[in-house]
Structure 1
Amino acid sequence: MGAQDDIAISVRGLTKEFDGRRVVDGFDMEVKRGAIYGFLGPNGSGKTTTIRMMCGLLTADGGEGQCLGFDIRRQSREIKKRVGYMTQRFSLYEDLTIRENLDFTARMFGMPKRRERVREAIADLGLSGREGQLAGTLSGGWKQRLALASCMIHAPQLLLLDEPTAGVDPKARRDFWDEIRRLSARGVTVLVSTHYMDEAVQCDHIAYIAYGKKLIDGVASEIPQTLGLSTYVVTGGELTPLEERLKADGRAGQVIRFGDKLHVSGTDRAALVALAQEEGRRKTHVWTERDAGLEEAFIYLMAGASDNFGAQEGAS
């Protein structure tokens, strides 16, 4: 397989406007086949709009690119045949059973050996024994499984997930991501739109998007180091007065409260070390240096991004 064959999506300069406002601005991206790629950003940042344009599901106002070897402008129909799309809201028929919903989706895609494929989908995602249950009576986690089975029924090469685990319990989220990693190992490329950190850490690569612009992208574990962030975790004593004092101190780039801890981060490590040593001499709190995480990186990037158009409904 050549280097180009290893690329599932390659886009350049994607731009989109709604009501005269630019919600995606000059977006460039390459996504490797089989990767789990997270698009991280606040609501209204343009994540979903960007993903839809990258996959030919929404026509860009500017820019160009290929998805699964097809031109995103001229061959969107071919791309759609090879894409599974799971929306945030449960979009299947609640008055149909699990089997009936999957059979309906298989009919829509004109699947050969439809009944056999439905049986396989039910077994693959652990729905056996529930196939006669009405979709509307399922819990959030089981609805999620059904939605995933439905969008994978035609064996797509590319899977789009829009806030996929909103409203489900921790075990269901864990089971869901186990399944996503299994699909990725089989060569399915996965794009995930999210603003949750526990979603982001499941991804191989991440792109941070704010107000229509890509701020940074890369290997998830390397993003904080790429930004040059240093972090201290502070524990002990009453945190509120310390938090207020640190926020007024220019050496503390950002101060984030996590329950009974403060995370103090910045790009000037020397200044941060000096601050930690000075505060440590007070002996009121314990300062422990640790690697910066995705959440510190996210907040750091958002603080430096300017809202040039305002969050728009439907432009997430």
Structure 2
Amino acid sequence: MGISVKNISKSYGKVKALEDISFTINHGELFGLIGPDGAGKTTLFRILTTLLIADEGEASVAGYDVFKEYKSIRNHVGYMPGRFSLYQDLSVEENLNFFATIFGTTIEENYDLIKDIYVQIEPFKDRRAGKLSGGMKQKLALSCALIHKPKVLFLDEPTTGVDPVSRKEFWDMLKRLQQKNITILVSTPYMDEAALCDRIALMQDGKILEIDVPGAIVEQYPKAIYNVGANNMYGLIESLNAYEHRHSVFPFGEFVHYTDNRPDFDPASLRRYLERQHLSEIHIEKTQPTIEDTFMELARQ
């Protein structure tokens, strides 16, 4: 009753948006698709919600075939696209009533499912949707996607452009929804949100690089990784990229995440090299890899 995807491929002309994608999502699981813009996340969502037809492969959602039983799928899924797609001239309450009516239900019938979310926007129920803040639009869109009590919920980059507090609130809401036995597939370009999922799939250029629980993906990072800092960030990055022994160099907040291609790497040798590049205030400290580091390493390969 979850989601099954087998060898799905989709092209737009000569551009291959998805290439031989396969995975399964268990019933009641919170599963994340993690990747940058252009990775193929939205194309996959549109196929699974019956808005697009794949060139190759097969898929099922909540036990229904996405090609043969698309009408049944549309009655059993909730879909929140990346762009705010509700009626901006209608009020909060009017939007919610409209979507409830489409699915032959009422706000009252499934109020217990949306209560935790809707109480936060109920004080603004007479305000036009187009006049809401980003976080409030997000809550309204989620309420409309849930109003018919779907078995599977699709959320395409729901927190893009939303402030950090609203992002945290949104993920708290997803965890509560998961407890109501709803299967959730969420896509995001934010690597920090990946750790909040039960399992994740890392996507790049229409392909899946890795699927596993977040902790296991981080554990497979193959090298020792170091936080490197100096007085001149631009000069530091330039110098590290020119270093003959460097394996990878990625800016990461106030530091650079650096890995070396020597099995017996000595940080002191790197410090001497950077000093010869006229850098000062040099900081080199071993650190723990993140999901983002693993993603960048897999993408390199």
What is the TM-score normalised by the length of structure 2? Answer: 0.88
1:230-241 maps to which residues of 2 (within 5 A)?
230-241=224-235
Maintained 8 Å contact 2:114/2:147: no
Aligned partner of 2:141 among 144, 147, 162:
147
SS class of match (1:255): strand
Partner of 1:31: 25
Equivalent-residue separation in structure 2 for 1:135 and 1:51 (angstroms) = 24
Deviation at 1:191, TM superposition (A): 1.3
Equivalent-residue separation in structure 2 for 1:99 and 1:122 (angstroms) = 13
Q: Could you list the runs of 5+ residues in structure 2 that have no partner in the other structure?
A: none
- Give CA-to-partner distance per residue, 1:12-67, whole Å, 9 cap, x none: 11111222432211111011222222212222221111233244442221112322
Aligned partner of 1:279 among 263, 270, 278:
270
Partner of 1:187: 181
Q: Could you list the runs of 5+ residues in structure 1 that have no partner in the other structure?
A: 305-316
1:213-232 maps to which residues of 2 (within 5 A)?
213-232=207-226
- Could you tell me which amino acid in structure 2 is paired with residue 293 of structure 1? T
- Could you tell me which amino acid in structure 2 is paired with residue 291 of structure 1? Q
Equivalent-residue separation in structure 2 for 1:273 and 1:82 (angstroms) = 56
SS class of match (2:22): strand
* Residue 291 of structure 2 is aligned to residue 300 of structure 1: no
SS class of match (2:79): strand
Partner of 1:311: none
Q: 1:189 to 1:121 in 2, by over 3 A?
A: closer
SS class of match (2:123): coil
Deviation at 1:178, TM superposition (A): 0.6
Equivalent-residue separation in structure 1 for 2:240 and 2:250 (angstroms) = 10
Give the number of aligned pairs. 293
* Residue 11 of structure 2 is aligned to residue 12 of structure 1: no
Percent sequence identity over aligned pairs: 37
Equivalent-residue separation in structure 2 for 1:97 and 1:295 (angstroms) = 39
SS class of match (1:128): helix
Equivalent-residue separation in structure 1 for 2:128 and 2:177 (angstroms) = 26
Partner of 2:94: 100
Partner of 1:117: 109
1:25-174 maps to which residues of 2 (within 5 A)?
25-111=19-105, 114-117=106-109, 120=112, 123-125=115-117, 126=119, 127-174=121-168
- Give CA-to-partner distance per residue, 1:145-200, whole Å, 9 cap, x none: 10000000011111111111122211111111110111112221111222222333
Q: 1:104 to 1:205 in 2, by over 3 A?
A: same
Deviation at 1:303, TM superposition (A): 3.0
- Could you tell me which amino acid in structure 2 is paired with residue 116 of structure 1? E
Equivalent-residue separation in structure 2 for 1:109 and 1:120 (angstroms) = 17
